[in-house]
Structures are given as C-alpha cells and as structure tokens.
Amino acid sequence: MPINADRQEFRETQSDLLSCVVQTRPNAGREVAERLANLVGVEIHGGAEVDKLILTIEDAPDFAAADRLASLNDIEGVINSILVYHCTGSAIDPSPEAARG
C-alpha cells in the first residue's frame, strides 16, 4: 500500500481536531478572519471584532491540522496563534457499541 494511502486511512480513523486563538494586528480581525475562513479545515467561531479569533481546525485530506496551525503565523495580519485544545479521532469512537456505553 502506498504511503499516502496509509496516511489517508490513518486520518480517517485518527483525525485531529484543534481549537485555538489567533491574535491579529489591531483592527485586522475581520480581514484575517476572511482569509482564514477560506482555508480548508478551518472554522471561525468569533472574536474578529476584538482581534482575537476563536477557531477550530480539522485534518483535511491534504493538510494535517497541526501543520495548518503552524502555518497560521505566516498569514498577513496574524501576530500569533495559540493551541487551546487538541482531540484525536481515536478519542472519539463512532461505533454504535460505544454509544450504548
């Protein structure tokens, strides 16, 4: 099996979900939020009006969530990004047996 196929299978069963805060330059929150909203796997939950964006990042087929988090500091208007929470897909068992306890 090709390495990429192994990685894709891992992501489907072990995908990451990150929550973070992104500090932007003064008065750049809305502009940066628009840029980040266009990134695959990124969802903005608020904070643009105070230049501290609250967002979640999920693994995408071609981009790991951790890599996406690391790349946020390279986006124009971003001062820094801080990881708040990390959940791996292995922590969430979607099977019906797990739902029954």
% of the chain at pLDDT higher than 90: 64
Check if the beta carbon of residue 41 is closer than 8 Å to that of residue 68.
yes
What does the domain layout of the chain look like in residue ranges? 20-89
> Tens digit of pLDDT for each residue in 9-53?
544 556 889 999 999 999 999 999 999 999 999 999 999 999 999
CA angle 74, 7, 2 (to 5 degrees): 125
Is the predicted pLDDT of residue 98 greater than 70, yes or no? no
Output the pLDDT for position 26: 98
Q: Which fold has domain 20-89?
A: Alpha-Beta Plaits (3.30.70)
